[in-house]
Amino acid sequence: MASILTNASAMTALQTLRHVTGDLATTQDRISTGLKVNNAKDNAAYWSIATTMKADVAGFKAVKESLELGSGTTNTASVAAKNIVENLQTLKARVIAGQTNGVDKSLIQNDVDQLVKLIKGAAADASFNGDNLLRVTYSNDGTAKDKNVSILASLSRSDGTVDPSYIDFQRQDMRVESIVGKATIEQQVDSTNAKKASIDLKFGAPGETFIDGQNLGLGAVTLTITKENGTKTDVSVDLSAQLYDTDLATTQGNIATAINTALTAAGGDFQVAFTGDNLAFTDQDVNADGNFTAQVSGLWVGSKESDAFGGLADLTQVDVVNNSKKSLEVINKLLDSAIGKASVIGSIENRVSVQNDFVSKLTDSMNKGIGALVDADMNEESSRLQALQVQQQLATQALSIANQGPQNILSLFR
């Protein structure tokens, strides 16, 4: 039926043109954005998954930044720790050389002192972005304040929550900090000099190094007493519980009392007293000729890690001139300790590197997954665009022909 009021053919052609135009607009949008799912209306399920995963990818980028910062910190510490171990190995060789009679021990000690300075500098310089894994700070009660370190390593999503995981480890104190100086030891038995040994303990002014009630960080004072008849007595005095008590004089008095009690129990050959920062051991016994009859050797003041003592604090007492045997004993322990600490840092450095590589690969994998859900196939869209353009032209022509229908009715009335 022909009608001038209702043009069914034009309506059909128009609907077809609108549909083709809509599809063409969708294809052009995909080509311009590169996405087949650009918002929730395109595909709500895929859009929701992709949006959540994009948030996770952003989180992993932050994780990677944390790991890269951790990598720089651990790498710096590892390089410094390795340098410290190498210098300790060289220092040990110098101390061994100092055990030989007939060598100029003062020249060897000069080398030792320079190596100690290098080690001290390496530990102090092992800082990356202000963080030094070879330095630990302590509270006044002697406990470490910042020994534990955590590096953000990963994120895991479960039941709508995101849980972070960390690489946890401890700083390895390799500072060469000590309030104790080298011991001075006189090795003669029959001597007119009553003062056989001394050592400096610099506690500092009140409130400067220690505050009232603070643990001093001391360990055991050890020494060997050799009598005129050749008998030897090893003395060890545990000072680990000693606190800074009221003032410097009281603190020094408490230490002297503890050491004198042990010396009396060992035979009473020596007594100690402070003169300023100097703790001096004085022989109490003389022989028939009026000479003093005992000697001190191997004098050493032990310590535990604290603000006043670094992890390699004993290096400050290494002395091949006055105390070569004890120095060799201590340097062996320090080298073993430094190797252990360097191994810990190296292990963490490797773990951070491996985790950083894993997070990079994981992020790439997640991006591929997101792309598979929402990215447009440009080859497909290109072909589709050309087909839709042809369809649009044909639909336009069909609509034009359909619109000519009412004009044809006029010819029936001529």
What's the token pair of residue 249?
A: 């004089």
With CA atoms as reference, report the closest residue to 362 among 153, 174, 202, 100.
153
Cα(356)–Cα(332) distance, integer angstroms: 36
- Which runs of E-coded beta strand occur in 242-284? 270-275, 278-283
Amino acid identity of residue 73, one-letter, is T
The backbone torsions φ and ψ at residue 266, rounded to the nearest 5 degrees and listed phi first, read -85, -5
> 48-175+341-365 and 184-309 share one CATH topology?
no
**377 burial type by CB count under 10 A (0-12 exposed, 13-18 middle, 19+ buried):** exposed
Under 8 Å between Cβ of 112 and 317: no
pLDDT for 2 equals 63
pLDDT for 6 equals 65
Cα(24)–Cα(395) distance, integer angstroms: 13
With CA atoms as reference, report the closest residue to 151 among 81, 75, 80.
75
With tokens 């994998």, the residue in question is 365
Cα(369)–Cα(365) distance, integer angstroms: 6
Cα(326)–Cα(160) distance, integer angstroms: 62
At the topology level of CATH, where does 48-175+341-365 sit? Answer: f41 fragment of flagellin, N-terminal domain (1.20.1330)
Q: Is 274 helix (H, G, I), strand (E, B) or coil?
A: strand
Q: How many CB atoms lie within 10 A of CB 129?
A: 9
What's the token pair of residue 372?
A: 């598979």
What's the token pair of residue 104?
A: 């100029």
With CA atoms as reference, report the closest residue to 189 among 305, 56, 283.
283
Q: DSSP H helical segments within 184-323, as ranges?
A: 248-265
Under 8 Å between Cβ of 82 and 338: no
With tokens 């890269």, the residue in question is 68
Cα(12)–Cα(405) distance, integer angstroms: 13
CATH number of 184-309: 2.60.40
CA 290 to chain centre: 60
Cα(266)–Cα(224) distance, integer angstroms: 10
pLDDT for 74 equals 96
What's the token pair of residue 220?
A: 């055991």
With CA atoms as reference, report the closest residue to 181 among 203, 163, 199.
199
Cα(20)–Cα(26) distance, integer angstroms: 10
Cα(396)–Cα(149) distance, integer angstroms: 71
Under 8 Å between Cβ of 225 and 266: yes
pLDDT for 204 equals 82
What's the token pair of residue 259?
A: 């050491």
Q: Is 234 helix (H, G, I), strand (E, B) or coil?
A: strand
The secondary structure of 387-405 as a DSSP string is HHHHHHHHHHHHHHHHHTH
pLDDT digits (tens, 9 = 90+) for 10-54: 788 788 878 878 777 777 777 777 777 888 877 888 888 888 888
Instruction: Kindly give the parts of the chain with pLDDT less than 50.
Output: none
Q: So where are the chain's domains?
A: 8-34+377-413, 48-175+341-365, 184-309
**5 burial type by CB count under 10 A (0-12 exposed, 13-18 middle, 19+ buried):** exposed
pLDDT for 127 equals 93
Cα(326)–Cα(320) distance, integer angstroms: 9
pLDDT for 224 equals 93
Cα(401)–Cα(135) distance, integer angstroms: 88
With CA atoms as reference, report the closest residue to 233 among 143, 295, 323.
295
The backbone torsions φ and ψ at residue 65, rounded to the nearest 5 degrees and listed phi first, read -65, -40
